[in-house]
Structure 1
Amino acid sequence: MGSARRGSQAVKRPPEEELGLQPGQSLELLKELHILTREGRINQDSRRKLKQVHHLVQFIEKLLQEVPAEEGHPTLADHGAGKSYLGFILYDLFFRPLGRGHIYGIETRQELVERSRALARRLGFARMSFLNIAAADAAQAAEMPEQVDVVTALHACDTATDDAIAFALQKQARFLVLVPCCQAEVASVLRETKALALARTPLSELWRHPIHTRELGSQITNVLRCLYLEAMGYQVTVTELVGWEHSMKNELILARRTGQRKRAAAERLRAILAEFGIQALEERRFPGLPAHP
């Protein structure tokens, strides 16, 4: 009996571990974000959300550690910030103990921006700014520095991910961390040209049915984004964010600036646009590609 009791005591975990928290993580912040209840409990949905954010934070922290230790750096712009779960948790776990650097949350919904500003004031997170602005306009905002080290977009819907990429290129970002969501633009163009495509190529069977149009459009969108980043001087890695059981929007695109623009990637991108009859997207979504040889 005594040994059973000792065994049971040995496996008892501390509350932070039971909740799936990182060492030193602020319980007060997680309560303010409604990830924890006021009593310090966590439900299954919040646990899943926290796991996703923690996993992404691990990727981002490694990149932030590569940024030169200069005053004011690292800087990070979070596009489609929403309630700024990612920004607040990154600040709590990395920026706050580092003692320098700045996070910019970019969000179009004014009520969420005001809520985030108020929370940052309450917690004393002084090196966080929240901009009530569209991602497409953020690069011109006076509050933004000339260069941003890391650009993130976690589930930024549809073309907001493209706007985040355009922002990163303008700000010469060292790194991009993207989890695309609801990629609808390419699918809509495929639908417009479907009749012509059916007469032109048997490949159009890949998007003849509406559900396939949506799925293929999503896949093509992310492939084009990766090629565009390579063409503009980035090394790109594509992986999973978390297991598929946690989220179907699971594709994580990591890009590292090398400055070596790849003409071959630009040619592949243009060839894909031509193959699917969506060349109209080049000027709108992929400006500045290396010229044809």
Structure 2
Amino acid sequence: MKGAGRTTRGGTNAPAPSVAEQLELRPGQSLELLKALHILTRDGRINQDSRRKLKQVYHLFQFIEPLLQELSADGHAPLLADHGAGKSYLGFILYDLYFRALGRGSIYGIETRAPLVEASQELAAALGFERMHFLNMSVAESAQLAAMPERFDIVTALHACDTATDDAIAFGLQKRARAMVLVPCCQAEVAACLRQTKALQLARTPLAELWRHPLHTRELGSQLTNVLRCLYLEASGYQVTVTELVGWEHSMKNELIIARYTGQKKRSAAERLRAILAEFGLLEALGPRFGVPQGA
């Protein structure tokens, strides 16, 4: 019967978990925000279609929260830029769970789709999230905007498509970000280059089998892209950790890259980055994107 409790092994009826328990809500977390994001329906029931997205955001928050705690110490007001923000699930949850109680710091959501930016602006105003800012522009455009802060503490990009993750990295480097938290999505550029050049250096070796089939080309391109990103970050003075965001049943785009600035630029990473680009015939096309100038 609807609303009945659960039967435990001992045969007793235990009360069904509440919405708060099912969503693992923290004390004081805004239910109105979850309704506005369509994670909960207006009558407070769980929207199952959005539950997977929320789980991803919660897991990402668990990685970002320790960084925020460290970077907001001694009264510092942390600045966070969220690129490819979409409906700003991540930004709103971060603000609700951390920035709101902290009482200082700001979040900037960057998104190219104007209707999503307008909706986020209206929602932030309705909830009184005064230190959330939304910009309708590309990542590259936001880096050149005079009104943007000169430096950011954290740069995030959750499932920013194709080269948008690279743009977020470039933004983080320009803004001297102290940490970057990236979950790449649908990388296609390297795969296109592999198809075009057939990786001339390896064409006559058994390694060419790695991208003979189109599906393998796409997967290899995705893997290679993230390897290049990690080497680029290490060569730029960041300590890099790569792990899974959530279980594969929740997202096929599941690789999480966490980079913390140490200032120690690894020469070996720069050398391997250049060598991999050259080996796969990508040096001319992609060298500048990863900090390897032409003729270097």
Quick check: TM above 0.5?
yes
Q: Residue 168 of structure 1 aligns with which residue?
A: 172
- 1:288, CA displacement in angstroms? 6.4
**Match among 201, 204, 221 for residue 217 of structure 1:** 221
In the alignment, structure 1 residue 8 sits paired with structure 2 residue 13: yes
Does the aligned pair in 1 maintain the 2:200–2:280 contact within 8 Å? no
Question: Which of 222, 239, 246 is matched with 1:242 structurally?
Answer: 246
SS in 1 for 2:70: coil
Q: Which amino acid aligns with 2:126?
A: R
The one-letter code sitting in structure 2 at the alignment partner of 1:116 is S
| 1:1-293 → structure 2 map (5 Å cutoff) | 7-9=12-14, 11-69=15-73, 73-194=77-198, 196=200, 199-287=203-291
Unaligned runs of 5+ in 2: 1-7
SS in 2 for 1:237: strand
Residues 38 and 47, structure 2, Cα contact 8 Å, conserved in 1: no
- CA–CA distance in 2 between the matches of 1:14 and 1:158? 39
* Deviation (angstroms), 1:42: 1.0
Contact 1:184 1:214 in 2 (8 A): yes
Runs of 4+ in 1 over 2 A off after TM superposition: 4-9, 11-15, 18-23, 68-72, 195-202, 281-284
Q: CA deviation at 1:71?
A: 6.0
**Aligned AA for 1:20?**
E
How far apart, in 2, do the equivalents of 1:71 and 1:282 lie?
41
Q: Report percent identity of matched pairs.
A: 73
| CA distance in structure 1 between the aligned counterparts of 2:275 and 2:292, rounded to whole angstroms | 16
Q: Is the 8 A contact 1:71 1:101 kept in 2?
A: no
What is the CA RMSD across the aligned residues, in angstroms? 2.1
Q: Output the CA distance in 2 between the equivalents of 1:37 and 1:163.
A: 35
User: One-letter code of the match for 2:144?
Assistant: Q
Q: Deviations over 1:120-144 (max 9, x none)?
A: 1111000000011101121111231
Whether contact under 8 Å (1:198, 1:205) holds in the other structure is no
Runs of 5+ unmatched residues, structure 1: none
Partners of 1:8 and 1:222 in 2: how far apart? 49
Q: May I ask how many residue pairs the two structures share in their alignment?
A: 287
With the length of structure 1 as denominator, give the TM-score of the two structures: 0.92
Matches of 1:284 and 1:56, distance apart in 2: 30
